[in-house]
Amino acid sequence: MTVRWIRAALAGVAALTLGLAGCGGDDAPAGTAGGGRVTVFAAASLTETFTRLGRDFEAAHPGTRVTFNFAGSSALATQISQGAPADVFAAASPATMKTVTGAGEAAASPVTLARNQLVIAVPRGNPRQIAGLPDLTRPGAKVALCAEQVPCGAAARTALDAAGVRLTPATLEQDVKGALAKVKLGEVDAALVYRTDARAAASDVDAIEFAESDRAINDYPIVVLKRAGDPATARAFVDHVRSDAGRAVLTAAGFQPPQA
Amino acid sequence: MRTRDTAARAARPARRRPRVPLALLLPAGLGLLFLVLPLVGLLARAPWTTLPQRLAQPGVLTALWLSLQTATLATLLCVLLGVPLAWLLARVEFPGRRLVRALVTVPLVLPPVVGGVALLLVFGRRGLLGSWLDATFGVTLPFTTAGVVLAEAFVAMPFLVIAVEGALRGADPRYEEAAATLGAGRWTTFTHVTLPLVAPGVAAGAVLCWARALGEFGATITFAGNYPGRTQTMPLAVYLALETDLPAAIVLSLILLTVSVAILAGLRDRWVGAP
Amino acid sequence: MTAPPLLDAHLVADRDAFQLDVRLRIAAGEVVALLGPNGAGKTTALRALAGLHPLAAGHLTLDGVDLDRPDRRRWVPPERRPVGVVFQDYLLFPHLRALDNVAFGPRRQGADRSAARERARGWLDRVGLAEQARRRPRQLSGGQAQRVALARALAVDPTLLLLDEPLAALDAGTRLDTRAELQRHLGGHSGATLLVTHDPLDAFVLADRLLIVEHGRVVQEGDAASVTARPRTDYVARLVGLNLHRGRADGHTVRVGELTLTAADRVVGDAFVAFPPAAVALHPARPDGSPRNVWPATVTGVQRHGDNLRVQLDGPITVAADVTPAAAAHLRLAPGQRVWAAVKAAETHAYPA
């Protein structure tokens, strides 16, 4: 009696586990699957553009299928070095890319797909009349920056240092979307975010360009990974991103082309 | 009856321990394994050689201290507001009680980040109450330590209310009647009889509440932001360390884990009076 | 009762199954027992007196003060009534020592901590538990817990003392001692005392007067002697161990169904007849001679009853008869056996219904 129960329970647990694993395998084609399938791990700031580029690529190459995993670059890098099945990795900073190439996961040297520049995001209408970085140090001004551990925070630090501006932010956000949200909700008067993010939120925030931003430009590197199941298609996708058509999509979103 | 009880208790050690059925033991073991294995993973990957230097970094202790402070304050706030709420739910019949009980669990269901946004919409600079607080008292809660306490209390309160309400429902209300016949009004009855009777439930709820507040991340970073020494608690420090330095994140997690387990184990012996 | 009673109550309260409707008067120093089967409404009456159950109608006046009078919208909450209660399972506060359980009431009455403890110590001493003052309820035996509960109820110096089945939770041996002890303390209580119980022995020993309650109504009232001698319901007859029948009397004869019984008393009109089972003699054939009450019966059951056997009989009337084992053997008593039952007129009591 007892033995039969245990057997049934074990069978149930096993079936459940396998079933769940099976589901996962079905939906997220592994890098090893091959056959015209590409799984791309891309930085969260690439969500809109890459989704578009993926559709274009599938249309141009019938029979292929591109799936995405968008998240913070660092989280993606950790997932890849822990063996996640990815074919292509697009990061928001060379530093994050380095943790993947350093672990020997890349099939080639990364190339820059685009660059992103910081802007000062302010609530729509710019009620505090902010014109540049020095305005952020005004008494009572609340500013959100990204934490220095994430690329937009590192870039903000570089820009502030270049401008010789010392400021105590109200918060150091975990990512650029967090900093932007604080502006949208009116909790801070300004935040240093990427131009692309400010443009995507144009209905709520205004983007103020500032002189020192060209000192803190962020490169977005992309690379085909060593464990890619169908390296040819993966390379084809990277080429598509870097083609003129791909570049047009990126530029429309606020990215700048990579330096020649 | 009481004397018979004592007799039975005295006889118990002589009896053999009851056999635990395998059908329970096996899933119980699997369950424990499932909970403990991730901890083993953390321990296995911990950078033991560089541990002392990492512990000595100034930001670590600041974040730990802030976490302990805010979690404790949040628990106090929850006890202060949650115990009376639990009493109301357990002891007073009022229309819409089922709805209120369901509302209490909202923070459990809400993703913490959404909870943080919701708190901003109420207590933020432009929030429903926040704008009034700012205009009247010049008080702003976001990006302050008080904001951290508020965010943690919001997320942790249901644990306390549910535990205390359960304890109150289990407590025999006739003790309260006995107190009334001895001349105790409702408030005295509550403080002198009801509360001591459900003290173990309150303690258990407070422990759960404290643990949840200590681990709080989403609502805190959304509502109170992240600034070292002011609003950066351990979970926030862990998350940001994860961006660049996995070993550092593991060390921070282990510190948080060790300290909280030590405190809870210490409290259990001292206060909760576990058997 | 010449002096106005200390407690004057007409308790009308709604319960799930029926309505409680009981008139109750208790003089100072008097102990009244509310005796009845489970679910008769005894506890509801006690709760209404304590203020734990509101009256639907009627009134409750204690020492000239209305504590509950729905028609005048008057209601005094339990904590402001001069009432002490000993609950069925005592409900001693588990987190307080015996001393502080007893001191709880005096504290609420405004005594400071040391004065309240002093009073509590006095009461514990009186119930013989000075030694156990520092114990918590779960460290007390059943009898000790009962005495602490009594001390706690008396420590508030109540005008009305209520006891809800005070001995029901005790085992037989403890019950005997505790009952005697309780009788002593109740005797010393100058206020009114109401005892609720389903145990006739408790009621007979402890109370001056009995109120028998069934289905929320008082069915009989009187002291122990009159109740035991003249039961008026089957429940009371069973309690006191009498055969009870109702019929129509005409002088010394009472007609019960088809049977006419001759009794020692003279009654006219509706009447009860009662006789003890031991007065019923069984014969294998119709007896000749003195007994005037004789009828044929069929044995329906035989059980042990003390040293004797109790025989259940069916026939023109249903009765119980007590016989010695020797007599039973002689008669070869077994269910289905046909016998003749006889009761002497001298042992048959008749009284107006």
What is the biggest distance separating any 2 CA atoms in chain C, rounded to whole angstroms? 80
Q: What is the CATH number of the domain that holds A198?
A: 3.40.190.10
The continuous run of DSSP H or E covering B110 comes out as none
3-state secondary structure of C162: strand
Evaluate whether residue B13 is within a structural domain. Answer: no
Evaluate whether residue A32 is within a structural domain. Answer: yes
Answer yes or no: is pLDDT of A86 > 70.
yes
Separation in Å, CA A251 to CA A117, A192, A195, A222, B253: 12, 20, 11, 17, 41
Evaluate whether residue B17 is within a structural domain. Answer: no
Residue A29: its pLDDT value, please?
Answer: 40
Contact, B108 vs B26, CB < 8 A?
A: no
Could you tell me if A239 and A169 lie in one domain?
no
B51-97 pLDDT per residue, tens = 888 888 878 889 999 999 999 999 999 999 999 999 999 999 999 99
Could you tell me if A102 and A44 lie in one domain?
yes
CA distance linking residue C280 with residue C310, whole number of Å: 11
Report CA torsion sign: B220, B221, B223, B224: positive
Residue A9: its pLDDT value, please?
Answer: 53
Using a CB-CB cut-off of 8 Å, the residues of chain B touching C96 are 196
Backbone angles phi, psi at C66, to 5 degrees: -75, 120
Selected residue with higher pLDDT from A18 and C202: C202
Nearest by CB: C142 against B2, B172, B181: B2
Among C46, C53, C75, C79, pick the best mutation site for testing chain B contact (most B Cβ within 10 A).
C79
Answer yes or no: is pLDDT of A34 > 60.
no
Evaluate whether residue A259 is within a structural domain. Answer: no
- Using alpha carbons, select from B65, B17, B96, B82 the residue that is nearest to residue B228: B65
Could you tell me if A153 and A81 lie in one domain?
no
Could you tell me if A123 and A57 lie in one domain?
no
Residue B19: its pLDDT value, please?
Answer: 79
Among C89, C108, C167, pick the best mutation site for testing chain B contact (most B Cβ within 10 A).
C108
**Cβ neighbours, 10 Å, residue B123:** 24
Domain count, chain A: 2
Residue C132: its pLDDT value, please?
Answer: 94
Using a CB-CB cut-off of 8 Å, the residues of chain B touching C91 are 172, 174-175, 177-178
Give the range among A206-215, A242-251, C21-30 with minimum mean pLDDT: A206-215
Which tokens is B48 given?
């033991």
**Cβ neighbours, 10 Å, residue B110:** 17
**Inter-axis angle of helices B145-170 and B97-104, nearest 10:** 130
Could you tell me if A235 and A111 lie in one domain?
yes
Task: Say whether A176 counts as a known binding-site residue.
Answer: yes
Evaluate whether residue A260 is within a structural domain. Answer: no
Nearest by CB: A185 against B22, B120, B245: B120
Could you tell me if A136 and A180 lie in one domain?
yes
Could you tell me if A167 and A179 lie in one domain?
yes
CA distance linking residue A185 with residue A172, whole number of Å: 16
Strand-pairing partners, residue C281, are C342
Q: How many Cβ pairs within 8 Å bridge chains B and C?
A: 70
Q: pLDDT band at B8, cuts 50/70/90?
A: very low
Q: For the residues A55-69, what does the mean pLDDT come to?
A: 93
Give the range among B37-51, B137-151, C20-34 with minimum mean pLDDT: B37-51
Q: For the residues A114-121, what does the mean pLDDT come to?
A: 93
3-state secondary structure of B124: coil
Q: What is the CATH number of the domain that holds B188?
A: 1.10.3720.10
Backbone angles phi, psi at B183, to 5 degrees: 100, 10
Residue B269: its pLDDT value, please?
Answer: 64
Terminal CA-to-CA distance of chain B, rounded, Å?
22
Backbone angles phi, psi at C29, to 5 degrees: 80, -5
**Cβ neighbours, 10 Å, residue C137:** 20
User: What percent of chain B has a predicted confidence (pLDDT) above 90?
Assistant: 64
Residue A78: its pLDDT value, please?
Answer: 85
Whether B contacts C, i.e. 3 or more CB pairs less than 8 A apart, is yes
B220 touches chain A (CB under 8 A): no
Could you tell me if A199 and A243 lie in one domain?
no
Low-confidence residues of chain C: pLDDT under 70: 1-3, 290-291
Using a CB-CB cut-off of 8 Å, the residues of chain A touching B227 are 169-172
Evaluate whether residue B7 is within a structural domain. Answer: no
C156 touches chain B (CB under 8 A): yes
Answer yes or no: is pLDDT of A130 > 80.
yes
Residue B157: its pLDDT value, please?
Answer: 96
Nearest by CB: C78 against B1, B175, B180: B180
Domain count, chain B: 1
Under 8 Å CB-to-CB from C220, ≥6 apart: which residues?
C210, C211, C212, C227, C231, C232, C233, C236
Where helices occur in chain C by DSSP H, the ranges are 42-50, 98-108, 113-126, 142-154, 172-187, 200-206, 224-229, 234-240, 325-331
A159-200 pLDDT per residue, tens = 999 999 999 999 999 888 889 999 999 999 999 999 999 998
Evaluate whether residue A82 is within a structural domain. Answer: yes
Strand-pairing partners, residue A41, are A69, A89
C73 touches chain B (CB under 8 A): no
Q: Torsion over CA of C61, C66, C71 and C76, rounded to 10 degrees? A: -120
Task: Tell me, letter by letter, the H, E, C secondary structure of C258-290.
Answer: CEEEEEEEEEEEEEEEEECHHHEEEECCCCCCC
CA distance linking residue C30 with residue C190, whole number of Å: 8
B221 touches chain A (CB under 8 A): yes
Among B1, B175, B181, B192, pick the best mutation site for testing chain C contact (most C Cβ within 10 A).
B181
Nearest by CB: A2 against B21, B142, B222: B21
Q: Which residues of B touch C (CB under 8 A)?
A: 1-4, 172, 174-175, 177-185, 188, 192-193, 196-197, 199
B180-226 pLDDT per residue, tens = 999 999 999 999 999 999 999 999 999 999 999 999 999 999 999 99
B243 touches chain A (CB under 8 A): yes
Q: Which domain holds residue B214?
A: 56-271
CA distance linking residue A164 with residue C55, whole number of Å: 83
Q: In this complex, do C91 and B192 lie within 8 Å of one another by their Cβ atoms?
A: no
Nearest 5°: CA angle at C252, between C247 and C256? 20
Q: In this complex, do B179 and C93 lie within 8 Å of one another by their Cβ atoms?
A: yes
B242-271 pLDDT per residue, tens = 777 778 888 889 988 888 888 888 776 655
Answer yes or no: is pLDDT of A16 > 70.
no
Contact, B148 vs B77, CB < 8 A?
A: no
Average pLDDT, chain B: 88
Could you tell me if A103 and A133 lie in one domain?
no
A185 touches chain B (CB under 8 A): yes
Evaluate whether residue B139 is within a structural domain. Answer: yes
Could you tell me if A26 and A149 lie in one domain?
no
Nearest 5°: CA angle at B78, between B76 and B83? 105
Q: What share of chain A is helix, strand, coil (3-state, %, to 5)?
A: 45, 20, 35
Could you tell me if A238 and A126 lie in one domain?
no
Evaluate whether residue B106 is within a structural domain. Answer: yes
Answer yes or no: is pLDDT of B12 > 70.
no
Q: Quick one: B58 exposed, middle or buried, by C-beta within 10 A (0-12, 13-18, 19+)?
A: exposed
Using a CB-CB cut-off of 8 Å, the residues of chain A touching B120 are 185, 187
Evaluate whether residue B6 is within a structural domain. Answer: no
Task: Say whether A73 counts as a known binding-site residue.
Answer: yes
Evaluate whether residue A50 is within a structural domain. Answer: yes
Evaluate whether residue B19 is within a structural domain. Answer: no
Could you tell me if A110 and A125 lie in one domain?
no
Parallel, antiparallel, or unpaired for β A190-194 and A143-146? parallel
Q: Torsion over CA of B73, B74, B80 and B86, rounded to 10 degrees? A: -160
CA distance linking residue B104 with residue A53, whole number of Å: 45
Q: Which domain holds residue A107?
A: 2-115+219-252
